[in-house]
Structure 1
């Protein structure tokens, strides 16, 4: 339930039991891929870049090394969480496009203005979204667009983003996209529309020492 609330927050920010779909997109067919969605790769380099964005924002938000080390420790699954978000974002984009849903820049700006007012300004919004959802300042508009897509899709389906019907629709889209996750980062459960951890002792995780991140 906690994972669903977090996913919903990411879209704004399932619990069906099924055997996970385990594939190995780190093989020769998709070299350098963290995941493949609809035949399009999310490269390891792209994933690491997104992680670096968050770590850079976290580093700028704290006063000293000890505080930063504590933040890193508290977000040890950041790489996996970000990959999960990147995959779900692509699934949502396709589901919205298939439903004829679009979001204008004006709608994003209006949504952001309302959130900034609630948060006490731009800085307040940026701080809260980084702390609560792991979204750096430069990704807020993009995330708001996804939130609005999710809300419009849910409305068209006659449900809400927290209800099974919404996630069932995304699950159907995920099936058509044939999501494929590198076992370094887990596997993809198409029914739950979620990345899940798997035990793959033969896979060694590689992280960037310069980014000071853990996965």
Structure 2
């Protein structure tokens, strides 16, 4: 279970670009808009479900890079994490097209069944920072990664084999290139994209020239 959740978070990539977004927009992914209202609702639903799911809490606590618990209110980290995944789901669909790989519903179904055998698809989805309603999206994301890596020659029976590791690198590089070409825009409220970390980073507050002392005398 730890491997599944960590792979989902680590494999995803998100590219952002500057520019203004419409009021109420959390992110634009090509022509697809993720609203602030839907993101707020997603994180609220996640928090309500996550606190009552001990399996999800255990998976999250055992997975590197994931906060183990909840604060009193929705945090920017919660919002950033959920938004990153929602964007990544959309990017993955285009990655599959770029790679010339079909991801049939049957493959997503088998992936969901595998998740149910390893802690439960709902609990695994909660551990990543999304509510259970996104279990199917997460299963499709994992199925897409699996299909693309297989095309690149991965030996999925051995995660540590040189072929699998090379395929994972190719998947990551293709994901980055694809995302960068989609002109993804992130609302500055939720931070900025860090290409080196392939993730949404902390909000950066910029001072005016006078406040930084860089203005002309």
| TM-score band w.r.t. shorter chain | 0.5 to 0.7
Q: 1:34 aligns with which of 26, 29, 32?
A: 26
Q: Deviations over 1:101-129 (max 9, x none)?
A: 2323322222222332343xxxx553354
Please say which of residues 138-147 and 51-60 is displaced more in the overlay: 51-60
* Pair member with larger Rg: 2
**CA 1:13 to 1:99, structure 2 compared with 1: closer, same or farther past 3 Å?**
closer
Q: What is the RMSD of the two structures over their aligned residues, measured on CA atoms?
A: 3.3
TM-score (norm 2): 0.67
**CA 1:190 to 1:174, structure 2 compared with 1: closer, same or farther past 3 Å?**
farther
Tell me, in whole angstroms, the C-alpha distance in 2 between the residues paired with 1:196 and 1:80. Answer: 8
Does structure 1 residue 152 correspond to structure 2 residue 152?
A: no
Does structure 1 residue 8 correspond to structure 2 residue 13?
A: no
Q: 1:135 aligns with which of 113, 130, 139?
A: 130
Q: What is the match of residue 206 of structure 1?
A: none
For structure 2, list consecutive stretches of 5 or more residues without a partner in the other structure. 55-67, 155-163, 208-217
Q: 1:164 aligns with which of 162, 169, 173?
A: 169
Q: CA deviation at 1:51?
A: 1.0
**CA 1:156 to 1:171, structure 2 compared with 1: closer, same or farther past 3 Å?**
same
State the aligned residue count.
178
Q: CA deviation at 1:89?
A: 1.5
**Contact preservation (8 Å) 2:111, 2:142:** no
**Contact preservation (8 Å) 2:191, 2:200:** yes
Q: What is the match of residue 58 of structure 2?
A: none
Tell me, in whole angstroms, the C-alpha distance in 1 between the residues paired with 2:104 and 2:92. Answer: 16
Q: What is the match of residue 63 of structure 2?
A: none
Please say which of residues 146-155 and 33-42 is displaced more in the overlay: 33-42
Q: CA deviation at 1:60?
A: 4.2
Tell me, in whole angstroms, the C-alpha distance in 2 between the residues paired with 1:52 and 1:183. Answer: 21
